[in-house]
Amino acid sequence: MQDSFFFPVQNSTFAPTVDGLYYFIFWISVFFLVLISTLMVIFMVKYRRIDGVEPEESPGHNTLLELSWSVLPALIVLVIFGWGFAGYVDMRSPPEEAYEINVTASMWQWNFRYPTGAVSDELHVPANTPVKLIMQSQDVVHSLFVPAFRVKQDVVPGRYTGVWFEALESGEFDLFCAEYCGKQHSDMITKVVVHTTDPASTDLANKPNFETWMADAADPIKDDEPLYESGKRIIKMLGCVNCHTDDGTKKVGPSFKGTFGTQQKLHNGETITVDENYIRQSILDPNSQIRAGFPPGQMSSFKGIIKDEWIDAVIAYFKHLKEE
């Protein structure tokens, strides 16, 4: 698998069709650009006006030539249409047995939810398996774009949109938001991790196979460790760490370190205590209580994404950070 001059690696079953059609159009354009420009220059020189030479009478028209320069381009355009339409229909028709993943886009993050209950902020998919994404937006129009798969689809508030693909080889690939969605639009870059499905193997990128990853992600609360460790895993898994730190430094949002039990000022002048309920509400309805000094509307709700037990674990982690 190699990237080419125009394209990143081809890592989905769509990629050869998309690239093939692109190159077809590209080389036809190059051919006509050269043909037409060259003829133009030749004719300009050959038929230039020369003093004392009278223009010859026009020979009339050439039926064969005129028919062919109308019919040939029409045929080429039809080929392009047929090729593109077949590819489009294929891309719009996910196989029935496709593995379904729910996608939520919001300003400015992705959340991926799997049939097992697992949640992640990077997209994890099995190799050589059709995968269908069922996508919705919590706020504005976003667009999911995976260059290596050659798929791009808008994610719109108030309705589901879908896209499907079948990844070929395991590895990590870029996933972008391709619709300008506000100030931190560029934060919506994340990864697609393609896992092998071979239970006996960990692949080149040294990632666990899909089932192993899934088993771990579906149940982030491990019985054999303190609850706060699970909380730490969960804030990574959900991408909270893109905006919050646990070392006291301020990022997009306040650091989690040392805030539990303290009194803090809100945007509206009120003073609150950072306790279990405040944390829970901040996660489920972040805009109901905005910390003074932080812009509202940055964090989107994790309602329906985070589970109650996971919130417990996150709270345990807040308490642990207080003691540390």
Instruction: Give the residues lining the site for ligand HEC (CB under 6 A).
Output: 108-109, 235, 238-240, 242-244, 252-254, 259, 264, 274, 279, 282-283, 286, 289-291, 294, 298-299, 302, 306, 314
Taking the least distance from each CB to Cu ion, the nearer of 177 and 192 is 177
**DSSP at 316:** H
**Token pair for 226:** 């303190």
Candidates 148, 155, 144; CA nearest to 178 is: 144
Q: Least Å distance between CB 238 and Cu ion?
A: 17
Taking the least distance from each CB to Cu ion, the nearer of 188 and 311 is 188
| Total residues interacting with Cu ion, rule: CB under 5 A | 4
With CB under 5 to 8 Å by kind, the binding choice for 142 among Cu ion, ligand HEC, none is Cu ion
CA dihedral 252, 256, 261, 262 (to 10 degrees): -40
Alpha-carbon distance 23 to 28, whole Å? 8
Q: Is 142 in the site for Cu ion (CB under 5 A)?
A: yes
Rg (CA), the chain: 28
With CB under 5 to 8 Å by kind, the binding choice for 188 among ligand HEC, Cu ion, none is Cu ion
Q: Is 103 in the site for Cu ion (CB under 5 A)?
A: no
Question: In 10 A of CB 121, how many CB atoms?
Answer: 18
Element holding 259 (H helix, E strand)? none
With CB under 5 to 8 Å by kind, the binding choice for 279 among ligand HEC, Cu ion, none is ligand HEC
With CB under 5 to 8 Å by kind, the binding choice for 177 among ligand HEC, Cu ion, none is Cu ion
Residues 179-238 that bind Cu ion (CB under 5 A): 181, 188
Taking the least distance from each CB to Cu ion, the nearer of 142 and 244 is 142
Taking the least distance from each CB to ligand HEC, the nearer of 167 and 227 is 227
C-alpha 275 chain-centroid distance? 35
Please enumerate in sequence order all residues whose Cβ is within 8 A of that of 321, keeping only pairs 6 or more positions apart, or say none.
246, 256, 257, 258, 259, 260
With CB under 5 to 8 Å by kind, the binding choice for 11 among Cu ion, ligand HEC, none is none
Q: Least Å distance between CB 41 and ligand HEC?
A: 57
- Cβ 273 vs Cβ 262: under 8 Å: yes
Cis bond before residue 108 (omega within 30° of 0): yes
Taking the least distance from each CB to ligand HEC, the nearer of 150 and 244 is 244
Choose, by CB under 5 A, the member of 144, 177, 237, 321 that binds Cu ion.
177
Question: In 10 A of CB 43, how many CB atoms?
Answer: 10
